[in-house]
Amino acid sequence: METPTINDLNICIATENGSGSASANNILFKAIFKMGIPCSSKNMFPSNIQGLPTWYQIRASAEGYLGRKDVIDVMVMFNDVTAAKDIHRVRDGGIILYDDSTPLPPHLKREGVQYLGVPADKIVQKILPTSPLRGKQKNMLYVGALAYLFGIDMETIKAVLEDTFGKKPAVIESNLVCIDAGYRHMQENGLNQDIARFQAIPNGNKGKIITEGNTACALGTIYGGVSFIAWYPITPSSSLAESIEYYLPRLRKGNGKPTYAIVQAEDEIAAAGMIIGAGWAGTRSMTCTSGPGLSLMNESVGLAYFTEIPSVFLIVQRGGPSTGLPTRTQQADLQLMYCCSHGDTRHIILIPHDMKSCFDFARRSFDLAERFQTPVFVATDLDLGMNFWGKVLTAEQIEQWEKQGKKFRRYFDADGDGIPYRTIPGNRHPHASYFTRGSGHDADARYSEDEKDYKETLDRLRRKFETARKYVPKPIVEMNEGVKTGVICFGSSYEATREARNRLRAEGLKTNHLLLRALPLSEEVKKFLEAHEVVYLVEQNRDAQMAAIIKEDWPELGAKIVSVLIYDGLPVTAGEIVRQIFNGAQATPREVLRQVQVKG
């Protein structure tokens, strides 16, 4: 018999997409959160509308780990199609909760796990005989069963239902009836377990909310002063634009008239063109998309880069290439963003790693876009300042310049930082206008194919990029004296990496850590590489894209990097990072360039 763990449990719920399980899963997750227990959820769902398998994982962690756990303690087996595989995903000593309305076939029985049945079909037919939704509401039975097994009291469940369906008492009652039926079935039949239990932590989650990265980014753009949004629906970024549509009218009210515009464009190419036009006119503008959409936007991004127009692109990465895996996560569009468009380009990329940085970086992106007069990317993935105008000249400022013997030259580097001055439409000064062109141009914005003008333009754009190194968010560095092994990660890999480092320390391998938060890379990254004999770089793509970017900047330090590559489309686990680092640690110095990969 195991000693029950307290508030340390990983539940995987296997259902069919479109079966109504999302509501049940959310109620269960919110109930655990309401108890004050640190918890997170991951939803692995198909890209079709209905019918294929979906898995929803809820992790409660007493130590506050939020990454996907690499072992499953409890499998809720409510999908016959995947049951044969699901039974083998549970750890030895774990639990399988299943619908025993019909006998369990022999091939779904295995040794070393505890089977607990709840006749969900039979019970729901009995308590809701006429309800057209009983096929969906039967999922509430497993909520009740799990609540009884692991110690979630019904008052907490009821409070969550009221929070969720506050103005729909009939919905609250019908769901509560089903949850209570599942709870009482386990109780009355003496069905128990001894692997774990939940214990409320008073004020454990005080001051926290449940949200996801798209909503946090949406709020960040609003507080960053966005005034024009053009977008085209694509998974997994659509909810970001939808959140902006929801919150903007609630948060920004000006004399009863809208101070913003939101356009659902006919495609991604049009959306990119619209925001570049709005940025040229002086408006804080943005779009959001994923990899396939960004592929279509490449030419427009190049236009904004070469004509130096502020614009923001929020990219929620998914599995590729082509259509790929629209509902799975990856970090495989880094180089697509970094070098977006043909020709010589380099772009600023902000890389949030949690909800706070999703908000902060989405907000700051507009400041950076305007300071550097360039497209700025905010790179999240499926798993995540008002009115700082930069060098914008008013009519009065141009007049002062001219009194000093200077003149406004749109693409002239007056300060040596690569960033020229600009004007925006509406400036009444007769010398404020210029022609914006994507073809060759000189410092005065005149058409030019002169090789000297072209080279000077590209060199100045590079100086502007180098200047950006001092202004983008710095990495977060954790250093311990005498430790010669480093770990670098970025984005949604952070939580799993944090847990993995603690496991490695317990096994005797101490590490230092650097959390990358932006491109271009800052000097802190170079110093971190110089301070270590070997540095493991965790990224969610096949081709070690971030490693290639680092090696391009500092090739002399590239031999220190060992890539930890995870690209199966699922959220990263600490266990996989630990496995690859221990494999990499066995490498000799000459083998340090070896990439330890996980097969997708």
Report the CATH number at residue 499: 3.40.50.920
The reply to whether 566 falls in a domain is: yes
- In this prediction, residues 108-129 reach a mean pLDDT of 92
Domain check: are 155 and 100 in the same one? yes
Domain boundary among 381, 409, 428: 381
Mean pLDDT of the chain: 90
50 falls within a domain: yes
pLDDT > 50? residue 455: yes
* Residue 390 lies inside a defined structural domain of this protein: no
pLDDT reported for residue 49: 61
In tens, the pLDDT along 13-26 reads 999 887 788 899 99
Work out the average pLDDT over 145-172.
Answer: 92
The answer on 220 and 331 residing in a single domain is yes
Asked if the model's pLDDT at residue 232 lies above 50, the reply is: yes
Pair (35, 167) in one structural domain = yes
Instruction: Label residue 387 by pLDDT band (50, 70, 90).
Output: very low
Please compute the mean of the pLDDT values over residues 374-382 and round it to a whole number.
Answer: 92
Let me know if residue 386 belongs to a domain.
no
Shared domain for 221 and 370, answered yes or no, is yes
CB 528 within 8 A of CB 477: yes
In this structure, the answer to whether residues 231 and 269 fall within a common structural domain is: yes
The burial of 470, by beta-carbon neighbours within 10 Å (0-12 exposed, 13-18 middle, 19 or more buried), is given as exposed
Co-location of 120 and 16 in the same domain: yes
**Local structure of 330: helix, strand or coil:** coil
- Lowest mean per-residue pLDDT among 182-186, 252-256, 347-351, 414-418: 252-256
Residues of the chain with pLDDT > 70, as a percent, come to: 95
Compute the average pLDDT of residues 164-187.
Answer: 91
Q: Greatest CA separation found in the chain?
A: 92
pLDDT band at 384 (very low <50, low <70, confident <90, very high): low
Query: Is residue 242 located within the same domain as residue 335?
Result: yes
Contact 380, 358 (CB under 8 A): yes
For residue 460, what are the contacts with CB-CB under 8 A and spacing of at least 6?
411, 413, 418, 420
Whole-angstrom Cα distance, residue 260 to residue 275? 13
Q: Tens digits of per-residue pLDDT, 64-82?
A: 999 999 899 999 999 999 9
- For residue 382, pLDDT over 50 is answered with yes
Domains identified in the chain, total number: 4
Range of the domain at 498: 476-597
pLDDT over 90 percentage in the chain: 75
Residue 9 sits in the same domain as residue 68: yes
Same domain? For 152 and 30 the reply is yes
* CA–CA distance, 147 with 275 (Å, rounded to integer): 49
Kindly state whether residue 207 falls inside one of the protein's structural domains: no
Q: Are 185 and 37 members of one domain? A: yes
Each residue's pLDDT tens digit, 556-580:
999 999 999 999 988 999 999 999 9
Asked if the structure places residue 563 within a domain, the reply is yes
Pair 265, 297: CB distance under 8 Å? no
Q: Is the pLDDT of residue 591 over 60?
A: no
Average of pLDDT values for 137-154? 94
- CATH number of 305's domain: 3.40.50.970
Q: pLDDT tier at 357 (50, 70, 90 boundaries)? A: very high
Q: Are residues 441 and 589 in the same domain?
A: no
Among 428, 449, 468, identify where a domain stops.
Answer: 468
pLDDT for the residue numbered 391: 81
The model's pTM: 0.88
- CATH number reported for the structural domain that contains residue 15 in this entry: 3.40.920.10
Evaluate if residue 598 carries a pLDDT over 60.
no
Both 243 and 273 in one domain: the answer is yes
